[in-house]
Chains A and B, each alone.
Chain A
Amino acid sequence: MQEEKICPYPGLRPFNEEESIFFRGREEHIEKIISQLQEKKFLMLTGASGDGKSSMVYAGIIPNARAGFFKAKFNSWLIADFRPERSPLQNMAVALAAKLGYRDIAFVEKELGFGFSSLISLYKKSPYYLDLNSETYKNAPEAEQKKLKRKAANLFILVDQFEEFFTNSENYNNGKSSVNAQLVVNLLLETAKIAFSEDLPIYIVCTMRSDYVGQCASFRGLPEYIGFSQFFVPRLKRKEVHQVIEEPAMLSGNKISNRLIETLINECDGQDQLPILQHALNRIWRVHVEDGADEMDIIHYAKVGGIDKKLLPEEQKASFETWYKKQPVFKQKFIEEGASLSNVLNAHARELYENAVDYCRNHIGHDISRAEAHEVLRKIFTCLTKINDSRAVRNRATVLEIKQIIGSVDNKLIEGLVNLFRESENTLLKPFILSNAGNESSSYSLLDTDILDITHESLIRNWTDLTEWTKADHENVSIIEDLKKQVERWEEKNRSSDYLLTIGSLSYFKSWYVGINLNPYLLAKYDSSNLSPKQKREEASVFIPKAKDYLRISEANIKRNRRAVIAIATAIALVLIGFTSWAFMERNKALEKTEQALNAQRLAKQAEDQARESEEEARSSSTEAQESERHALKAKQQAESSKLEALAAKSKAEKAFAEAKLNADIAKSETQRATLALTESEKAKQEAIKSKEAAEKAEKDAFRIGLLSLAQSIALKSELFKSDPQLQGLLAYQAYRFVVENGGNSQDPIIYSAIRSSYHNLNKEAAIPKMNTVVEQRSAKLLSDNVTLLTADKSGSVHKWDLSKEKMMESGMLKYPVPFEMLSFTDWPNILISGHKNGKVCIWDISKITAPVLLKELTGHRGPLRSLDHSRSNEMFATAGKDSSVFVWKYTAAGTELLKQIKTISSIRDLLILPDAGKILLALEDGNLACAEISSGKVNMIYRDRSAKPWCMKLNDEKNLVAVGFSDGKLRLFDPAKIVTAENLIYTFSQNSTPVEKISFNKTGDMLAIASSDKSIKIFNLKNKNQKALAINDIKSKTRYVLFDKDNRLIACGSDHAIRIVQPSTEIVAAPFCELLKRNLTQMEWSQNISETLQYQKTCKNKE
């Protein structure tokens, strides 16, 4: 019969005691820990998240102790383990009562409440304590002694996840620990002290994430004890990772190929490496069993989404393809997208998320839509996470708490959706469903009191959906805080309408409010104060109706205002209509007069024509008369008579002509009058049009301001649609268009943020940095061609990049045996200066990047170097370090000499040579900003902010502004010319709240960028300091170095080893949007997301 195969890899959860047989790779460390614990009775085990601290205790120290490989007084061990969670004292009491045999937990809790030796007393009063020096024991017969020894036990107290003393607001708030937390720590420390001095068999181990060590100072005596006995879990070496992978397989009778081992080792790097590796191995093992394969191999790794099928060995490609085609489409997508070690976890979770719907339908016995099931599942997982210090962490919650937060779900539905995640082959969610229990059905059911918990935080960081949900949840916290502030202000001002929301903000808050189902339980979850859960809910119950009122009244106010605007506009329109009517009447009158004049003119003309005819006749008569006269000469009497008649006719014609002329003049005058009336009418008309235009402009201005406000609201809203890049893009771009078309500021931070976020979502390729290195770059310099970038990292590598191609052109290595602490490019041709851990300063010639040459090694500092700055003009540079000394050096091509050594009272974090080169500005670790005079060596304290330390400094290219970044995130500008006087502060930017780590000015001096420890980059407008800073929040790693190029693009060197080129201009980022967008908003999307009343328009004219 073939033996059933054993899976030796636990997956995402830690190893438990039973699985210690497969726990490998940490033997050496466990030996050291046991030795330390035997001697000191106490141990603070610290390490990064996912370094296997819990596994080391449960599958290393405890089984070794039980197996007799831990030197102690007795054979038996009582393991009292607990997590602090939200009630550390109660949890400690429960754990101790169970192990020491006390039935009354309340009694134990009360006893422990006295602190100090209380825990020792409980142990000594328990049946497991035996004093080997007591007379009773010494005088007892050997058999009795043996019996007593068998019964006695060593006490091992394990406080797992000690950081919960800091991550739960009930234990720690505003930098202070709660009374209960202080008490538990007091008990632990006092017990350890007494056990050490009296050599009692009590051992205390606490496991804690190393990033919380600093916060331990809030507990009296704890830092000292950590100093007394601490073990930092080292990162596994290659050899040990090899053991972690290969030996469990070997021990359990499985086989794993060497090529798979090497592939996994090569990928095993960074945070969460061990849980992700264990999870991947578990998945690989299951797939290889399903395949009936003898050995775990690369093909199985590809089947779980770990490696691209193109990289499979040739002989496995066909087999993989056959299998691949049989998989559901969604699974094909999950295993292909970004195949890597961490994708195995992502693909697994995504697959369960898809499969959970059908599982749920079977479980609850009726249909549920996919969208509804996914929505509830999203809410459940969101309940199980929270944000602590800007980090997403686990948040254990009972089934009842989840129901209260989500509302309208029952246990059956929750079981149906989460059980797949709990099953023994998945174990992404606790409590697990154990397949070996025999009676599986019981564990499938969830009671209200059952606590759900994400198995490991690596799931939050690697399951892309969950990462997005936690981000959105984090945004909810910010929105609620914002809304709370607004409501409070409104209440403080007696609900004044001046403090109500504007149309944009209302639209934003309202759409958020509708989608979130705000209730006291949800608000209590978001509340990070140290109030009790009940108090939090009570506060929330008071707030919710106020918030509702606030939104309702704001909406009513906006409607009222809108109505008023419409009324005014109508009134203006009526006045305009009246005025226009009058103008028309006047015009008509004028036209009438014009017509009359024209008639008169016409009559005059007729008269003139008649006169002209008469004149013609007269002329003709005259001619005839003259002829007659000539004839009359021949006939005397007839001619005399005809001449007299002709003269009379001529006189008559002249009279008629004069009359006609008079009539014409009258007509002309009438015409002029009519024209004048017409001009006046036209003038009145123009004035009426002007008035109308003014009214229209006023209305347009009101409308324009409304649209700008709406644009902000749409921009914020666009962030809610990240899952639909097209819709997000359309909203962001429409917001941008509203701003641009209505004369707004396109560099508004909200618009920029929306456009940038959407651009990266639409064009994912653009979001991926093209310039990557293997070590993070710590210094950079852009050459004058604006294209060549030089960078250097702490391993001593220097690189030359071509920014136009986003490609590394050359690289070389600064060969120096001592680790580099800092590096700095200088303005001197081809010179780079490095500072080292041993205090040495090296000057390098980097004219040939591929082969840098060490020019000079300078000695003087007695400790690691921290900062370096060089004077641009007179070839001088200064170095400073942890030895509280500043060394000023003179550099020339001929050599380098020490000019001055200056001692300070505190070690130096950063230094800056001031423009006149006679003074150096120092950022001291004690919080002072000081100025050192090089000639005298005198150091004057010039500025101090009691709540923050100066962190870094930068001088602009014009040398008339010094920016100093502080540990509380503030950025202060000083005038370097007056820096030594007391009144030297020019301006303080307060828009940042985490330590400023790097500063850069742009070439024209009107922009200033800072990189902060919260991973954001903020850009301040120095021409308009009141303008809100542009924030770049989507870079997921810290920026180690930042600088501007001549085109004001930002070059950021990240801790993820990438060098990014960030475009801080909204206009440039928005330019290709219509090419990236495939459609326009639908009418429905427009009315839902833009406005119901605003007329629909195409966001991109060239799209349907």
Chain B
Amino acid sequence: MKLSRRSFIATSVGALAVARGFPAIAQSGPIRIGCITTLSGAASILGKPQHMGMEIAARKLNEAGGILGRQVEIVVRDDQSKPDIAVAAVRELAGDGVNIFAGVLASPVALAISGIAEELDVVFLNAASHGNNLTHENFRKNYFRVTDYSAMRISAASRLMAEKYPHVTKWGAIIPDAEIGRSTMATFQYGLPKYHKELNNQEVSINDPVVVKFGATDFRNAVSTLMSSDVDGIFIGVGGGDEVGFLQQAGQLGLSKKVKVYVSSGSDFQVAKALGKRTPENYWSGHHWYFGAYQDNPVSKALYDQYVADTGDKFPDGFIGMGHTAITAVATAAAKAKDLSTKALVGALEGLTFEGVKGKVTLRAEDHQALCDVNYVKLGPDDGELGWKVSDFYKTDGTDLAGPATPGVAIKFQ
């Protein structure tokens, strides 16, 4: 029985010793920034680039002397796309003295972290989630979004479709059964008729969306429903692995040949990278950052060159750009505030304008939403080595698409 007592004491003492808390915010040593993103499961194809963007930004900052003379260290945790796992990770790191968090893909994860950020006295820079609610009805003051969001991106998609495809007036849609799906759909239903009216003076019809669950793998029913409806264009609100699955089955079942255009809220290059030669024609994908649209931007070019040097791949995802942008925003805010406390950083981030991979970005003071460009890229199949190609792109200033800042109040489309 001695063994049991000894091992128990040893385990308890060992656990306590290892876990002993660090001082709240260390004033020396590296600045630790918590990267919360998805590194396992289907969405890891988007989370890994997001993390990589942060690492590259940190490395470049460190080469130039760090932030306020201190080196930057990215501490990464996998959120598994689950809000409760993410909350546990944030609590763990916050308890360990980390007060700056960045990253996150899924809107429910972002919402969960945003909800506890103030209580934990941490600042959270969201680098991908699109839910309208995050900067509207669920706005929290320690939350910042450094990328575009549903209202901006889907408005851009609507304008793009009205501009480039004036004759495509009968639309269908597929969305996930989640807040993000409903918020993208609401924007599309508002934006597309509006821009068609303005630009082409004609009416459009949009069918009720086909709703699927997150992580669905069988899209045959959804594809059949869309096949049997009289539509020329399809708006895709599902993303990541789900979007790949949908488009793959849409190709097999003939939907891709039937419709004239697909426009997606966006999985950057992931769909084309996964589908290769099976990438549908006339497929427009939203991008957090399309490097090809910023050949003259030194920040974008430096990130692109570093990515190519590190990986050998020539098509960095936009998620890399947004991970990078989050760290750039922290560095700029810290330089402005000359202080790394949460309060000082929140104050400095409000209304901050900085140079990111998409040029000038302003974090709107009222609702902490980034006013920045919105990017769309047209992808299609190709006979080359990749099996797919970029055939066109669209870059537009998202400032006038962002809608009014209404923190605490849901966005209204009227």
Whether A and B are associated in the same complex: the answer reads no
